[in-house]
Amino acid sequence: MYTILVVDDSPMIVDVFVTMLERGGYRPITAFSGEECLEVLNTTPPDLVLLDIMMEPMDGWETLERIKTSPTLRSIPVLMLTAKPLTPEEANEYGPYLEDYILKPTTHHQLYEAIEHVLARRHSIATNIERAREAGVDQKLVDEYERLAKSVDINRRLLKILETTYSIKDARAGMREDITRAIKSMATSVKIQEERLSQVRAQFEELFEAH
């Protein structure tokens, strides 16, 4: 049974997600601030964190940064679960740190799908890394695969969120030029990463077959 830490400064929202998680067969634990989240992570590390953004005095972004810059905590996956629409700036700045971004309110199905997707991706990457090491793949290439496999998947999901958010929000007024430019730039970056990941995977396959 996976342990999921729910972090939100609203006890009512925490209760809603605790109920949803229990119904899905997960073991929820709770924290009601960024500071409490860090304390819980140091004493009872979960399999995944559901982290709200709009908290005080330490908001979710600062909490995320504190988790991901800690040598002991950074491997714990963090899924942002918030009512705040994602901005292109946040996607660029925090994309390397987070595992997914879900807008509240969310359904049971959307929540479970996101959690299982994150956990399955981690398992798949770990399995491929183990195979690559056994096949004698160069460590630099293994590290590049690990970074790209995660970032391509996350950035695809973030890009989809941005495209949906701003096409709906700005359909009448016309999308702001800087937002359009930022989304196009992110799409180009994702395409370049996808191409490199395909090359790395092809090298892996050659070495697997030779091994």
Q: Whole-model pTM?
A: 0.89
pLDDT digits (tens, 9 = 90+) for 108-127: 999 999 999 999 999 999 99
174 domain residue, yes or no: yes
207 domain residue, yes or no: yes
Supply the pLDDT for residue 14: 96
61 domain residue, yes or no: no
Supply the pLDDT for residue 121: 94
pLDDT digits (tens, 9 = 90+) for 32-70: 999 999 999 999 999 999 999 999 999 999 999 999 999
In this predicted model, which residue has the larger pLDDT, 174 or 29? 29
Q: What is the mean pLDDT of residues 82-96?
A: 91
What gap in Å lies between CA 77 and CA 51, rounded to an integer? 10
CA distances from 176 to 118, 155, 179 (A): 32, 21, 5
Helix%, strand%, coil% for the chain, nearest 5 = 60, 10, 25
76 domain residue, yes or no: no
Q: What is the mean pLDDT of residues 12-20?
A: 96
The whole domain housing 175 covers 122-211
Query: Average pLDDT, whole number, for the chain?
Result: 92
Q: How confident is the model at residue 135 (pLDDT cuts 50, 70, 90)?
A: confident
130 domain residue, yes or no: yes
144 domain residue, yes or no: yes
Q: To which H or E segment does residue 164 belong?
A: helix 139-169
Structural domain count, the chain: 1
49 domain residue, yes or no: no
145 domain residue, yes or no: yes
Q: For residue 105, is pLDDT > 70?
A: yes
